[in-house]
Amino acid sequence: MWSDPVRKVRTLESFGSTEDDGGRDLLAASRRVTDPELLHHILRHAKEEMEHGELFRLRAAELRAESQASGAIREDFSDKGSSLLRARGDVEVDGHGFYDGGLFDSLGEVAYVAMVHVVEQRALDTFELHEACVQDDPKTLALFKRLASDEKYHISYTGKILDRWRAEGREREVNAALKEARRSTFLGAWKRLGVRSGAGFGKALMWLFYWTLLLPMGLIARKRKPVQGWQATDPERPATQTITSQY
């Protein structure tokens, strides 16, 4: 995606929208947090997510201006493949992995913090992966390095909160929440992969069926198909019957 200037812009814009989404989730959750230490960190986390969104949009705007100047921008480009926004349907987490803030009451603090801890680890892996792809773009590379540093803080504070709860006798609850968070994250990624790959898989399957099943059967049927319609007679072949009437 980073070799195409249009996909590069759309991907950065999608990252920005996803970071904004995560920040809103955290702000919604902060209104129901009862742990003072956790509240302090979540408010800082939400602020950083919103800043990340703005940084992504600014960099995307710079690259869009460069693309327009060079005539490379295409408004009809489909960004479904690069979109990281919230999945539709019954998926309860967005592209960044956050739960919808409205679920905080039913989940509780432990499950929510466990989910944030798991998805921030995944986000760090994602940013480090993209770093390796933008080595020829110093500004975008610096952006991903800054975000990776913030993600390490997010992983650190959620890990410390979970460790404190373990020390307070809630080890089973914390471990169960982490297990469920990892399972939900895996299922969410699997569903997104299915949505993105479904069309391509269908085309490949139809191509395979055509060349291995439909085309051979069509050729065989064509050879066995009886000749229909009026046929020219052979003048050298003697007639075996003379037609004298219609009936």
Tell me which of 231 and 157 has the higher pLDDT: 157
pLDDT of residue 103: 56
pLDDT tens track for 162-214: 999 999 999 999 999 999 888 875 545 544 444 455 556 677 777 776 777 77
Spatial CB neighbours of 92, under 8 Å, sequence gap ≥ 6? 99, 100, 103, 184, 188
Q: Note whether 221 and 105 are within 8 A (CB).
A: no
Question: pTM for the whole thing?
Answer: 0.66
- Least reliable range by pLDDT among 60-69, 187-196, 237-246: 187-196
Tell me the average pLDDT across 58-86: 66
pLDDT (0 to 100) of residue 167: 95
Do residues 17 and 24 make contact, with C-beta atoms less than 8 angstroms apart?
no
Q: Which two tokens stand for residue 29?
A: 């959750």
Cα 40–Cα 37–Cα 162 angle in degrees, nearest 5: 120
> Where residue 7 falls among pLDDT bands split at 50, 70, 90?
confident
Give the model confidence (pLDDT) of 125-166 as tens digits.
Answer: 988 889 888 999 999 999 999 999 999 999 999 999 999 999
Lowest mean pLDDT among 45-49, 119-123, 163-167: 119-123
In our burial notation (b when 16+ CB lie closer than 10 A, e otherwise), range 153-185 reads ebbebbeebbeebeeeeeeebbeebbeebbebb
Integer Cα distance of 246 and 232 in angstroms: 20
Distance CA 70, CA 79 (A): 20
User: Looking at per-residue confidence, does 7 or 41 come out higher?
Assistant: 41
Average pLDDT, the chain: 78
Q: 32 and 107 in contact (C-beta within 8 Å)?
A: no
Q: What is the pLDDT of residue 108?
A: 81
Coil, helix or strand for 93? Answer: strand
Domains and CATH numbers, the chain: 5-73+98-206 (1.20.1260)
pLDDT surpassing 70 at residue 6:
yes
Where does the pLDDT of residue 95 fall: very low under 50, low under 70, confident under 90, or very high at 90 and above?
Answer: very low
Amino acid at 188: G
Report residue 34's pLDDT band, with 50, 70 and 90 as the boundaries: confident
The pLDDT of residue 158: 95
Token duo for residue 147: 């975000």
What backbone phi and psi angles, to 5 degrees, belong to 18? -70, -40
Angle between helices 138-165 and 36-70 (to 10 degrees): 160
**pLDDT above 70: percentage of residues in the chain:** 66
